[in-house]
Structure 1
């Protein structure tokens, strides 16, 4: 039985934690390493990470110490763990920490390494228009996502899939890949293989400013951008309208949209980029090619709703525009 230290923080790490903790024939999760409690919500109350909450429910000891702390390595050694499994922990681990685990640290990363090393591989894959991605289990080294690979699995990216939906799929599928890889490693049935050298795209973090939707591009571009930024950080634009009561500017998050299909009836012609056009059932925004239909939105201070219902409630008129 492998003695495992599990390191993770957000929801996407939960399938792996629960699978390893539940397989008591092969694994003993002796401790969980996670980020400290963080302030959340309007009240900014301290709340545990999803991984901490799950670990406490499972009766597993939790470590929230800073990996840069002077006694951190000693705390790891006192757990008795032989291997570490890492899923979205969110901290950089230096060489002394990596060396403290006799069997090594093994990370589940949501891309087909060496492509999309970095913080946001799922978002960047969708934004780039890729149709295939996957998960990789590799041994952590001091370089960012550069360690030797144990195993990989591939999945197709759905044509309308958001990063949140894809990440949830990969988290479930990847949990089995991680467990199988660790089991094979302990039994000597797999050896890590070095990643090929070369220049590869880095999946830098997607910021709120990155999520500002551009409608001056062909329709496929804002469609990918919206799907990549959903649910986090949330694709957004500003809606401008000149009416009887003066000018209004409203910030709106676009939760769901779809490019116009060539066979759709009632499509507006010559709609300029960013301009809105409404019918009884649809609300369209122009791009540099075909229109983009807005399906679900969330205006500032409002709940999420169908875009056409929001437009009616806001009394938008044709001539309003987004930027």
Structure 2
């Protein structure tokens, strides 16, 4: 078939490469415009744009799939549109421009976690299993019939970026198989069943740690918001990031109180303490929690105070 692929971040690259290595023609790759990156804010092509360039594929850069982009895609006469984390909505008339419409690789087991941050919300909720789904794109948010899905057991302590990377690799062959089945006329899609949950984009407040909460809930939150927007609290009125933490069997501490327990640095919660492994104090880079603690001038640090 003649395809149009839409995607932007690194997690969409394995899918693009999988389709490019298959029997189908990719008529164009649609991705968001170059964005400023790094300290010098240099305009940089998206990971998908860079991969498309390496593969010798034509690229359409656009932040919105407007009438102009729709006309450019329609002129290519695609038979199928494929979208993976593009970062924008596909609306009519673009939605029905390809003969077979659009399919989407989504990083959850639909209908759970429809929306922009499915992996992050799954980890925050403490889901032990998530996965990847390929479904038919419809006007309603992530509500189309599902062609295929692959389940994934979340490793203990895995962050959202680590799980996203794993699902990107897991989902790319799944997506390629569905495209092959659509081309062969053998694809079967099943209506979503079960209770739908919504996964809105994370905001800074989603990373704010309330250390009076249950330790397990805090670990889930830290995993889900790492690396963005980051888990954070305060120390002496300044923002303090917790980059990685693990359970601890040390004696309980008051919520927020930080102390040494043997070689570990622990912080009190509403239940059992957490072991701080990596932190980032205000104005500094990431550092080992032990190094940070030994360099403190105060003998009684309290996070969130």
**TM-score, normalised relative to structure 2:** 0.95
Which runs of structure 2 are paired with 1:48-63 in the superposition (5 Å)? 48-63=45-60
Equivalent in 223, 230, 236 of residue 232 of structure 2: 236
Tell whether 2:69 aligns with 1:72. yes
Match of 2:101 in 1: 104
- Decide which of 243, 260, 264 is 1:278's aligned counterpart: 260
Q: Find the partner of 1:83 among 80, 83, 100.
A: 80
Aligned to 1:264: none
**C-alpha distance in 2 between matches for 1:300 and 1:51:** 33
CA contact (8 A) 1:234 1:253 kept: yes
2:90 corresponding residue in structure 1: 93
Q: Secondary structure at the match of 1:118?
A: coil
Do the aligned partners of 1:211 and 1:233 also contact (CA within 8 Å) in 2?
yes
SS at match of 1:95: coil
Give 2:278's aligned residue: 296
- Counting only pairs closer than 5 Å after superposition, residues 111-260 of structure 1 correspond to structure 2 as 111-196=108-193, 199-240=195-236, 249-260=237-248
Deviations 1:213-253 (A, max 9, x none): 1111111011111011111111111113xxxxxxxx44222
Separation in 2, partners of 1:208, 1:133: 24
SS at match of 1:236: strand
Mapped contact 1:268–1:277 kept (Cα < 8 A): no
Q: 1:86 to 1:69 in 2, by over 3 A?
A: closer
1:39 equivalent to 2:22? Answer: no
Residue 117 of structure 1 aligns to a residue whose secondary structure is: coil
Corresponding residue for residue 322 of structure 1:
303
Shift of 1:14: 0.7
Q: Tell me the distance in 1 between the aligned counterparts of 2:63 and 2:241.
A: 35
Measure, in 1, the Cα distance between the counterparts of 2:77 and 2:263: 62
Larger Rg: 1
Spell out, residue by residue over 1:99-148, the C-alpha distance to the aligned partner (whole angstroms, 9 max, x if none). Answer: 11112111000000011101111111111111111110001111100111
Deviation (angstroms), 1:316: 4.4
Does the 8 A contact of 2:214 with 2:270 survive in 1? yes
Provide the rounded CA distance (Å) in 2 between the counterparts of 1:68 and 1:57.
24
Instruction: Give CA deviations for 1:138-175 in whole Å, capped at 9, x if unaligned.
Output: 01111100111111110101121111111110000000
Pairwise CA distance, 1:67? 4.1
CA contact (8 A) 2:65 2:88 kept: no
135-144 vs 57-66, which moves further: 57-66
Task: State the SS of the aligned residue for 1:253.
Answer: strand
Please give the root-mean-square deviation of Cα atoms over the aligned residues, in Å. Answer: 1.5
Unaligned runs of 5+ in 1: 241-248, 262-266
1:66: how far off? 5.0
Match of 1:17, SS state, is helix
Query: What does residue 14 of structure 2 align with?
Result: 15
Q: CA deviation at 1:279?
A: 4.2
- Contact 1:117-1:202 within 8 A present in 2 as well: yes
Give the Cα–Cα distance (whole angstroms) in 1 for the partners of residues 188 and 73 of structure 2. Answer: 25
